[in-house]
Chain A
Amino acid sequence: KAGVTQTPRYLIKTRGQQVTLSCSPISGHRSVSWYQQTPGQGLQFLFEYFSETQRNKGNFPGRFSGRQFSNSRSEMNVSTLELGDSALYLCASSLKLAGGFLGDEQYFGPGTRLTVT
């Protein structure tokens, strides 16, 4: 079974631009979660989508948005990029809600390394 794939793997953007990152979950998984990882803040939850609906959102500004398609693939968008948005963006998929009562096993992709200059 293929793992979680993320594209692109590396991206360099300029301040003020916008970016779209893509995530293909493991076949059959209905939940996709997005995280931002930085050396200073660690791994922080952005949002989780389940069956095309955003189920929960972390403490990030509205410049960060996402969506999920009927085939469970997900995209996240960051508008008006800032230098502080430079990070590794990780996507994870799970069969059930990762944030459900007892959680569910998440499988992470390799991430997209975004550099904002």
Chain B
Amino acid sequence: QQQVKQSPQSLIVQKGGIPIINCAYENTAFDYFPWYQQFPGKGPALLIAIRPDVSEKKEGRFTISFNKSAKQFSLHIMDSQPGDSATYFCAASSFSGGYNKLIFGAGTRLAVHP
């Protein structure tokens, strides 16, 4: 059972476009929603994160939009660049058993063409 559903599986955009990656969750106990960026041959690295008490968070060209009632959140990349080509994972976290357990989505492979 996939607790965090991510779409699309892959995405191709032209340089300057605005790719959007969507995630949906079921567990209302989740209280932290990070996005991780992974380049080939590297481990995932935290990109941006949001808590459910806000509807939007921006960091540079990256924006998370959060809809608590719909249990959905999305990542927008403004003015995308070829260097943004990577795999993106959404995740959701809840504090359980003494630590913050991260549940990951399946990932989206983004290609930004020059």
Q: Is B truly associated with A?
A: no
